[in-house]
Structure 1
Amino acid sequence: MDLRHFRYFVAVAETLHFGRAAQQLHIAQPALSIQIKDLEEALGGKLFHRTSRKVELTAGGKLFYQEAKAALKAYEQAIKVGQSALKGELGVLRVGYSASVAYAGILGRIMHSFRQIRPEIKFELQEQDPYRLMEGVQNQAFDFGIFPAFSFDMSAQISVLRLESWAPRIVLSASHPLADCQRMTCGMLRQEGFVVYAGSEFDQGTSGIRQILSYEPEVVYKAADMMMVLSLVSAGVGISVVPSAIEFSLKQPGLVFRPLADFCDHIDISLAYRNDRNEPLMDQFIACVRDEVASHQYRDGKS
C-alpha cells in the first residue's frame, strides 16, 4: 500500500465512477479496478458497493476517504514546504547578538529589512557575550553572530561582514576629577580602575580595552551586562570603555562620555558566519544584510 493507492481510491470515491476516475488518473479502467481491489485486500474489507448501475462507498469506505484525503493533503503540503525550505523561502534563522548591537538598533534594522523580502522566516534570537557568540557560530549553535569582533582572531571557517564602525568612548561619572577634561588620552587613564563588561567565565572583559589602551587595565568590577556597567560608573565605582553607540542609546544622568584623542581606530561591528555552510536561506540573509549596509551608508552620506 502506498500513496498511489490513496490517490486512486480518492478519485473513485469523489467521482463514484470507475470509468471517469480512470480518465482523470490517465490509466486503464481494469488497472484501476485491480488497484482498488489490492487496497481493499490490504485493509481487510470492502470500500465500495458496486453494481452494474452505481458505485457507493461503504461505511468503512466513507471513514477511510476522510483519512486518505487528509493524508494526500499532508503529503502535498510536505512537498511544498520542502521545496520552499530548500529555496530559502521558509525556515528559522538562529541569530546571536551582543547587547550593544540591540541597543544601537542594528539588530532590529537588519531583521526588518529581511522580513520585507521573506516575511515567513522566523528568527530565534539570543543575547550573549562576544566570546560565546564566536563559539556559537563556530560550533553552529548560531547561524549568525552580530557583535564587536575587533579583538578576535577568526578561524578560516568564519567570515565576517562589517556592518558599522564605532569609535570607543571613555565613560566616567559626572563627579569624576577627569569629567571636565575634553581631550582625554590613554596615558591619563593608567591609574584608573575600570568597570568591565564580562558576560561569561570565558570573557574577562579586558581584551578589547587592552587593545585600545595598549596596556593592561586595572579591573575593579566585572559586570554581566552593559546597563550594570553604566550604573556602576555613574555611582563612581570606576570608569569604562564603551562603543560610541552606547552614548546615544543608553545615556544616563550622571555620566559623561569622552573620545580618546590618541586612538584613531574604530570598533567594527560585524556579522559572523560559517563560510562552509551552503544554505540558500543563509545566503539570502547575507545578501540582504549587504544591501542594508550599503543603503545605510548611503543614507548617512558615507558612500
Structure 2
Amino acid sequence: MIPEIRHLRAFAAVAEELHFGRAAVRLNIVQPALSMQIRQLEEMLGVRLLDRTRRSVAVTEPGQLFLEEARRILRALDQAIDLAQRAGRGEAGRLAIGYSAATAYSGLLSRLLSAFHAALPEITLDVRELHPAMQREALLTRELDIGFVVANAESRKPAFDSLVVERWRMALALPTGHPLAKRAVVPFDLLREEPFITYEALGEDLGVDAFREAAGFAPMVRHHAQSPIMLLSLVGAGLGIATVPTILQSAAPPGVTFLQGDRAFPELPIAALFRRHNGNAALRRFVEGLEAV
C-alpha cells in the first residue's frame, strides 16, 4: 500500500506536537483514529517512525528524515490546491492573446494589458502577433483565448462571442511629393488611375473594402505589403497610395502625408474576439475588464 495524504498529515502533526492528544485536536479527529493512522503508516513503510511511551513521544532517525519529505509533499500539495483555487477564480493561470500589428500601433493592446496585469499580476500572458484569419483559427483550436480583430462577418460566426473595444478612423496615405498631397481634401474621382498599395494583414483587404465603400469604386492595386511599416515605407518611396487606419500616423516614416477623401470613410470596429464556452476563468476576468472600460 502507498501512504495517503491523511497519513502524512497525521504523522507531521504528531511529530511536531510530540503529543497524540494535542495532535488529534489539531487535526480535529479522535485520538484512537490518529493512533491507527500512525500504525498503518509505520506498517506500510516497515519502519518505526515514533518512539512512544506512556509519558513521551519522540521521533526516530528514520522518522526525522521522513518528516522532512512529508512536509515538502504537504507544502507542495497546499500550494497546488491554492493555485487551482486561484485559477478557478481567475486570479492565476495563463491567458493566450492574439493581435494584429495595427492593434499594437494603436496603443490599445498596451493599455488593456497594463490595466489587466496591474489587477491580476499572477496570470501569465502569452501574447502573439497573428493575421486576423489566423487568430480566428487559433481561437477555434484553443491555441488562443482571445484575439483582437476587425469585427467583420467572419467574426460574427456562431462559434464566437465578441466585444467592440475601439473604432478606427481611416485615411489616405500619400507620398508627400504627390500633387494631391498638397490638397486639404482628396477628391476620390482623381484616384481612379492612381496605383494603390494594400496591407492584407489588416484583414481581408479591409483597406480596399473601406476605400470601395467611400469612393464607390475599387482602387487599382499594384503593390502588396506584409506589415504596416512596410506599407508606409512603400508609400513614402512613392510607389503608390494606401488606405490605412489613422492610428498608423505616429509610425509613419518621413515622406508620408495623411489626408481625408471628399467622402467619409467607414470606421473600422475593432473587437475582442473569443470562443464561446471557453472555461478559462482568466479570460472571464479579462472580458469583465474590457466591459468596464
TM-score (norm 1): 0.87
Aligned counterpart, 2:212: 213
Contact 1:206–1:216 at 8 Å: present in 2 too?
no
Aligned counterpart, 2:288: 287
Q: Closer, same or farther in 2 for the Cα pair 1:190/1:206, shift >3 Å? A: farther
Separation (CA, whole Å) in 2 of partners of 1:153 and 1:11: 57
Contact 1:49–1:58 at 8 Å: present in 2 too?
yes
Aligned counterpart, 2:83: 81
Larger CA deviation: 183-192 vs 121-130: 183-192
Contact 1:206–1:217 at 8 Å: present in 2 too?
no
Aligned counterpart, 2:167: 165
Deviation at 1:55, TM superposition (A): 1.9
Separation (CA, whole Å) in 2 of partners of 1:40 and 1:142: 49
Contact 1:186–1:213 at 8 Å: present in 2 too?
no
Alignment of 1:1-303 (within 5 A): 1-150=3-152, 152=154, 154-199=156-201, 206-214=205-213, 215-247=217-249, 249-292=250-293
Which one-letter code corresponds to 1:213 in the other structure?
R
The alignment-based identity, stated in percent, is: 36
Contact 1:5–1:35 at 8 Å: present in 2 too?
yes
Contact 1:167–1:243 at 8 Å: present in 2 too?
yes
Which one-letter code corresponds to 2:260 in the other structure?
P
TM-score (norm 2): 0.90
Separation (CA, whole Å) in 1 of partners of 2:208 and 2:188: 10
Deviation at 1:161, TM superposition (A): 1.5
Contact 1:168–1:260 at 8 Å: present in 2 too?
no
Deviation at 1:257, TM superposition (A): 0.7
Contact 2:155–2:162 at 8 Å: present in 1 too?
no
Unaligned runs of 5+ in 1: 293-303
Which one-letter code corresponds to 1:253 in the other structure?
P
Contact 2:98–2:130 at 8 Å: present in 1 too?
yes
For the residue of structure 2 that corresponds to 1:140, the secondary structure is: coil
Task: Give the root-mean-square deviation of aligned CA atoms.
Answer: 2.1
Larger CA deviation: 33-42 vs 51-60: 51-60
For the residue of structure 1 that corresponds to 2:75, the secondary structure is: helix
Q: Closer, same or farther in 2 for the Cα pair 1:120/1:66, shift >3 Å? A: same
Deviation at 1:148, TM superposition (A): 2.5
Contact 1:17–1:55 at 8 Å: present in 2 too?
yes
For the residue of structure 2 that corresponds to 1:259, the secondary structure is: strand
Q: Closer, same or farther in 2 for the Cα pair 1:49/1:225, shift >3 Å? A: same
Which one-letter code corresponds to 1:11 in the other structure?
A
Contact 2:98–2:147 at 8 Å: present in 1 too?
yes
Which one-letter code corresponds to 1:206 in the other structure?
D
Q: Deviations over 1:221-276 (max 9, x none)?
A: 222211111111101122111101112x2132111011122234211122111233
Deviation at 1:117, TM superposition (A): 2.4
Contact 2:96–2:145 at 8 Å: present in 1 too?
yes
Deviation at 1:71, TM superposition (A): 1.1
Deviation at 1:76, TM superposition (A): 1.4
Which one-letter code corresponds to 2:31 in the other structure?
Q
Q: Deviations over 1:70-128 (max 9, x none)?
A: 11111111111111111111121111111111111111111122233222222111111
For the residue of structure 2 that corresponds to 1:96, the secondary structure is: strand
Separation (CA, whole Å) in 1 of partners of 2:194 and 2:62: 84
